[in-house]
Structure 1
Amino acid sequence: MAAVARRRRAYRAAAVLTSLVAFMGMALLAGPVTAAGGAMPCALPRTDAHHSLGTDTWDDAYKRPRGTFDAALVFLSFPDAKPKTTPAELTADHFPDTSRFFEETSYGAFHLRPHSARRWITMPRPSTAYGIQRDWDPERRTDYLRDAIDVADPRLDFAKYDVVYLIADPDAPGVDSDATKVVNFDEPVEVDGGDLRRLVTVFEQSPPDRHVLAHETAHVFDLPDLYQQPEDGKADWDTRVGDWDLMGSQFGLAPEPFAWHRWKIGWLGPRNIDCAPARHGVTRHSLRAVSAPSGGADGAGVEGPDGTRLAVVRTGTSSAIAVEARTRRGGDASVCREGVLMYRVHSDTASTQGPVEVIDGHPGTSACLRTSVHPALADAPLGVGEGQVTEEGVRVEVTGRGADGEWEVKITK
């Protein structure tokens, strides 16, 4: 009876699903907040914009990714298809690569531990009955999620897991790999004595798109999409950030998260960030590459890894220019051009609407034409001896590079 009651509550809650966060860009209701670097003068305010990049507070509707998170992988088959792969094979498509990505980009502060089901769970309807597609009909999407929770509940204790991935049989006729997204609930679904706030729905073919699960998982930690979605779906999606950061493109040459993203979710702390003074003047900064591992014996400390990883110039109430170094190591091993990267951040701009815009240090030129997702920005970083004045009147110059690999930067406001 208790299980039936839980499922009935799930049915009621599932009827009020929000639009998919990865593509609809709609804001959740504001949740409780906790301080997140608010004492720093260059911390932008968190706003009601969906996945706001404000760094002064943390939205407690999301779990901060530190320590170990347990992730459940649930495998869903359908009556109209016999799976051609096994849960073990599909798990290997994503792990340990996804866990390794987060461990390295968090400087050892975050560990994602997968728990994979061994058997398929059969959905009650054929795959074609759900209308699975990128811009999914809300009612049919609700049917899918309601059925998935219903069939998984007897086999899975949802309350034990920090992240739940619903992985559909990729070879079922009604499955569209373009539909992989994160779903938020307007009201948490009460299951197994806990509140289920969001699910990752996975429809990837095998092998999957590069970094797809890391991208979707980052939404669970309140990070926004940085691409733009053209109305007709045919224009360039990657003009805002190009290859830089996997929240722009999963296929980019430089998938390392921006230092700003790492600051927002707590992997960088105050000792890793230089705030340029609000007054006019000159400041100098030594920047260690964002992909450089922490030098501490214990990995990332409470306040973050060693070295300055980000310099910030506040340009408005909800805007700033961020300056960081990108080099060929870690996730950026295939980066097209090394150097000092600049980008604008707007904390009042929603996911997919342009919360980050990379500033092209070499306008009018392109690079890595065959491999970059947007060659015009592939050579965006400034090299030693180069400088640029932004439209906000901020001049950034790279004055040298030390023996330890740090980039020496002069900022004039």
Structure 2
Amino acid sequence: MLRNPPPEVDVPLQQTPGGVERYRVRSAAAALTSLAAIAAISLVAGPAVADPGSGPCELTRTQAHHSLGLDTWNGAYPKPERSLNALMVFLSFPDSRPLTTPEQLTGDYFPATSDFFERASYGRFRLVPHPQRQWMRMPKPSTAYGIQRDWAPESRAAYLRDAVATADPAVDFSKYDIVYFVADPDAPGVDSDATKVVNFDRPLRADGTDLRRIVTVFEKHPPDRNVLAHETGHVFDLPDLYHRPTDGKGDWDTYVGDWDVMGSQFGMAPDLFAWHKWKLGWLGPGQVDCVRGGTSLHTLQPLGQAPQRGGSVGTRLAVVRTGPGSAIAVEARGSAGNDGDTCTEGVLVYRVRNEPASGGGPIEVLDGHPDTGACWGRSVYPPLADAPLEVGETFTVPGERITIEVADRTQSGAYTVKITS
């Protein structure tokens, strides 16, 4: 069973020292619908109403945890628009002798995590790791901290206080933007399900700097793929996009499937949604089309496709505002960059809302092929693996008078999309 990352927690602490192989299965009715769409599609657009400035389509940031409103930035989080320095501290325990070295564990996460963000940001952001070279021994056995997925706050607080105190004599925390505490994966009390970001109601204080959040890593060796990219996304104010069933049963990936690492680190196409890239400052007004009614044509570059050397990033997102706190986002996904393992390509449509908190469904992918699935055995959620629209297909957004038609695909791989709203 695939493991989803635990949600973040808020802890009150006192201040202390190209080509894609397809596996789609469709019904005859679905195939006929696609043929009808191809026959009906028109390449002649009405009046162009796409606004090159994206301001009118920005949702406002709310008080929801990791709100996807992006009119303002939450200053409690570092914004990844430059190089950020990440400290890695390796913690051992009196009840276990490490079977791995800090160098081996560093290699589990880097350069893979830095490369993920380098590609996702189109080179605008660089995550620079600073791993310590030695184990730092905690004062208590690993079993003394009660480490587990739904961790008792007092036990978690004790672990973090001890970890900061253990590292402080050898580390100057003021030099770093991000802190990773990596526990000995073979210690008997370490539970890999406990990996998460811990946010502090009141910051810890060390070396004259406030520690507002720490990434606690309890992964096995080797770890889950892209797990540190997911957790680091929380450090940049991105929400969990998976759905945790209330009874502990059911599927976790019904909201976004494979289509963003904040949904599942196991996804085939885990690049960050264009909406997330817009929030993080990696896409600007020149790369986002705001659609304000009528009919317009948009040329969307696949999200994971790198810009040509010295060239523009190009348009990566089209947005239709549907209410004060909601919007429909349209982007292209192809087999490139972080999405290189995808088994379907096309134009992805999803709904964004600014009120739901992390884990509450702030983004929901809209399935362009609701009667079929794809990529069985590879996808974390096959019903959404074939969500993107292909050339010649038309999709009407449920509950909205918005229609998306995929008119063409250029030789460079960009999609020509007609939006009527």
TM over 0.5: yes
Q: Conserved in 2, the CA contact under 8 Å of 1:240 and 1:356?
A: yes
Identity of aligned residues (%): 61
CA distance in 1, matches of 2:380, 2:56: 35
Asked whether 1:400 is paired with 2:413, we answer no
CA distance in 1, matches of 2:54, 2:76: 22
Query: Any gaps of 5 or more consecutive residues in structure 1?
Result: 1-20, 29-36, 300-304
Partner of 1:338: 345
**Deviation of 1:294 (Å):** 2.1
Using the size of structure 2 for normalisation, the TM-score is 0.87
Q: Conserved in 2, the CA contact under 8 Å of 1:77 and 1:83?
A: yes
Partner of 2:152: 137
Query: Any gaps of 5 or more consecutive residues in structure 2?
Result: 13-51
**Deviation of 1:371 (Å):** 0.4
**RMSD between superposed Cα atoms in Å:** 1.7
Partner of 2:301: 288
CA distance in 1, matches of 2:402, 2:316: 19
**Deviation of 1:402 (Å):** 1.7
Partner of 2:70: 55
Using the size of structure 1 for normalisation, the TM-score is 0.89
Alpha-carbon spacing, 1:59–1:381, altered in 2? closer, same or farther (3 Å)? same
Q: Conserved in 2, the CA contact under 8 Å of 1:227 and 1:248?
A: yes
CA distance in 1, matches of 2:216, 2:248: 21
CA distance in 2, matches of 1:308, 1:98: 25
Q: Conserved in 2, the CA contact under 8 Å of 1:341 and 1:380?
A: yes
Matched position secondary structure for 1:136:
coil
**Deviation of 1:24 (Å):** 5.4
**Pairwise mapping of residues 105-116 of structure 1 onto structure 2 (< 5 A)?**
105-116=120-131
Residue of structure 2 aligned with 1:201, choices 216, 221, 225: 216
Alpha-carbon spacing, 1:39–1:307, altered in 2? closer, same or farther (3 Å)? closer
Asked whether 1:80 is paired with 2:95, we answer yes
Q: Conserved in 1, the CA contact under 8 Å of 2:304 and 2:338?
A: yes
Partner of 1:375: 382
Letter in 1 for 2:365: V
Alpha-carbon spacing, 1:182–1:110, altered in 2? closer, same or farther (3 Å)? same
Q: Conserved in 1, the CA contact under 8 Å of 2:351 and 2:363?
A: yes
Number of residue pairs the alignment of both structures matches: 377
Asked whether 1:254 is paired with 2:261, we answer no
Asked whether 1:354 is paired with 2:367, we answer no
Alpha-carbon spacing, 1:209–1:126, altered in 2? closer, same or farther (3 Å)? same
CA distance in 2, matches of 1:318, 1:128: 45
Q: Conserved in 2, the CA contact under 8 Å of 1:246 and 1:252?
A: yes
Partner of 2:107: 92
Residue of structure 2 aligned with 1:319, choices 322, 326, 332: 326
Partner of 1:310: 317
Residue of structure 2 aligned with 1:155, choices 170, 181, 195: 170
**Deviation of 1:232 (Å):** 2.9
Considering Cα pairs closer than 8 Å and 6+ residues apart, tell me whether 1 or 2 has the greater RCO: 2
